Each structure stands twice: as structure tokens, then as C-alpha cells.
Amino acid sequence: MIALCAGLLASALGAAPDLEPEHTGNPIYKALVTEGLELAGATVPFPPPLLRDGQAPEAQYAALRSVAKSKGKADEMLRNAVTAPSVLKIRDLPARDGVVLRGTDVLFVIHGDLDVLDPTGAVLSSGELVEAEKIAFEAKPIPRDDLERRELALIKPSFGRFPVEWYLHATG
């Protein structure tokens, strides 16, 4: 299975997207793509995913090609390599009071079977450093009192195929 992932630090302003039914029950995702984040006095919404559930392979390739800007670059991104060829986009975003705010998108293709991922493994590590290839990160569950202070409710019983009984803070 090939999945196109977009790592988004911030994104350009845009119209509110239609949410896929699978994502409408996820309040964090919904807030990021419809309301955005408050950064340096400006509201910056995240874009909707480039690929959608159930999208035909031809439409997926067309979306990848639109990001890669050429068939050759799209084909290079699809190459199954240890180090994923990527597209990096950096742009200025509106901010207030002379603050410089930039959005960064990193897009790349991952080859693998998403069904082998165990999202509970990250939670059970409770802050231990996890390393894979040249990437290291740590993750830990956010305590219930922190969620309540931030006015976040737990989603129950599940979201898609993943149990969502916790929120996770990851750094790396």
C-alpha cells in the first residue's frame, strides 16, 4: 500500500474543506482544517489531505503529480527507497506586528502496510525514545486533567480502525 503523507507545520489560508465521514468525529482534525491554529495573532488553517479515502489510483497519481510539478518527479517520489524523495514547500503566512510566520509542507510517499501499525504502542512507550532508521521521537499520553484544562473530551469508543481513548503528545 502506498500512502502519501503531508507533514504540516502550518499552511496557507483557504476555504473550509468538506470533511470525509471518517474524520467528522475527530474534533482535533476537524478544528485544524476548519478553524486552524492561532499563530502570531493570525489564524492559520491546515489544508485538507491531498488524498482521500477510496480515491482511485489515477486520481491519487494526478494529486501527486500536481505537487511534484512533473511526471518525472512524481515517478521519483514513488520509487521505493530507504530515504524517501520529498517535496518541501516554504511560504510566508500573514501575521501581525511584524512577526515573520512561515508555513512548511513536507510531502513524501511511504511504501508499506498501514495495517501493521499499532497506535497503542506509542502510548504504551510513555515518553521513551523510539528510533527507526534516522528518525527518533518520543510520545506519551496526555493526562486526563490536562485534557480537561484544555477543554478536550476523549473520543469513544473508536475512530475508524484505531481505538481513540487517549490523546498523544509526540516530539522529535
Residue-wise DSSP of 36-54:
-EEETTEEEPPPPPSS-TT
What's the rounded Cα separation, in Å, for the pair 48 and 18?
Answer: 8
Which residues have CB under 8 Å from 23's CB, separation 6+? 29, 30
CA-CA distance, 112 to 132, in Å (whole number)?
Answer: 14
82 Cα distance to chain centroid: 21
Per-residue pLDDT of 54-83, as tens digits, reads 899 999 999 999 999 999 999 999 998 887
Give the model confidence (pLDDT) of 15-25 as tens digits.
456 788 877 88
Whether the link from the prior residue into 157 is cis, omega within 30° of 0, is yes
The span from the CA of 160 to the CA of 74, in Å, is 29
The pLDDT value recorded for residue 75 is 94
Q: Running DSSP on this structure, what letter comes out for residue 161?
A: T
Question: HSE of 129 in the Cβ direction (CA atoms, 13 Å)?
Answer: 5
Looking at the DSSP bridge assignments, the partners of residue 103 are: 91
Q: What is the pLDDT of residue 58?
A: 96
The list of the chain residues with pLDDT below 70 reads 1-17, 114, 116-128, 130, 132-134, 137, 139-141, 153-172
The per-residue pLDDT for 13 is 33
CA distance 132 to 14: 35
pTM of model > 0.85: no
pLDDT reported for residue 54: 85
